[in-house]
Amino acid sequence: MYKTKKLFENVKKNKFAYALVAPNTFLFFLFFIFPILWIIILSFQEGGILEAKTFVGFNNYINLISNKVFFKSILNTLEFMIIIVPSVFIIPMAVALLLNSVKKLKNLFRTLLFIPLLSSIVVSAIIWRYMLYPGEGPISEILNFLHINSPNWFGDSSIVIITIAIIELWQGAPFYIVTFLAGIQSIPKELIEASNIDGANYFQILFRIILPNIKPVLTFCLVMATIWNLQIFDSVYVLTRGGPADASSTMVWYIYKNIFFYSKVGKGATMSVVLILLTAILTFINLRITKFHKQSLY
């Protein structure tokens, strides 16, 4: 009772400040909290998109346990994430360090590297589908010219996930490059100069000065890479539609397929709840591993 009274007094005292944040708070609840609550409610029902829904309790969750395709889509999604997340740290970090050492035309190189991010994922996927088209695409022709058998990039279940992961990495790498570069350039030059005077080599400077000082940036990129790659959909939709034989089916693709192809809203909502929980768990683990709660951005 005392805490409630104190809260009302605080609101009354700072009513102008609360009035300023009220529109944002309303939009947050409208477009974030309410959809999540609605998905949870739908997960206990069944019926089509335009049909009346019936309450079925935990049946959707029980049926999901025996759904082999859904568990395969989870494994495929995690495989995408395992391939892409380490890659977006190694390759973009190397490029960012290289750009940071360039003295001339730095802005030009930064602009050229940022181009893939400016094109839509759908357009990029269509271009790559042409580039990798078996037997006739430019990359396949180059491999054939070198007497190397060109694989069926999107038709071979053993490499289809790797192929799409490479395309996603090409599309998203510029964001991480620019973000890492901004973090590196925020480090005081005096620290690096002092280390050089003390005789530190490049790797000592990298692991003892650069990386520790951009840890908040690394944490941010780790969390965003995890969330974005758990939601991978566009490339799969354009390139493979989950094929061959569900080898590239991801969680979001399978949710979309159940809702809009099979009109199973309850089942799709149930899988969405699982996706939300998986995202929250992995994000929490990432934050705990990096100990972000003990960091300061200043």
Full domain range(s) for residue 90: 42-294
In a domain, 1, yes or no: no
User: Based on the structure, what is the number of domains in the chain?
Assistant: 1
C-alpha 131/C-alpha 136 separation (Å) is: 8
Per-residue HEC secondary structure of 72-121 comes to HHHHHHHHHHHHHHHHHHHHHHHHHHHHHHCCCCHHHHHHHHHHHHHCCH
What's the pLDDT tens digit per position in 190-247? Answer: 888 888 887 888 888 888 888 888 988 998 999 999 998 899 998 999 999 998 989 9
In a domain, 232, yes or no: yes
In a domain, 30, yes or no: no
In a domain, 15, yes or no: no
pLDDT band at 293 (very low <50, low <70, confident <90, very high): very low
pLDDT of residue 294: 53
CATH number, domain with residue 99: 1.10.3720.10
In a domain, 22, yes or no: no
In a domain, 11, yes or no: no
Range in 43-47, 104-108, 249-253 with the lowest mean pLDDT? 104-108
In a domain, 27, yes or no: no
What's the pLDDT tens digit per position in 150-188? Answer: 888 898 888 999 999 999 888 888 889 889 988 998 888
In a domain, 267, yes or no: yes
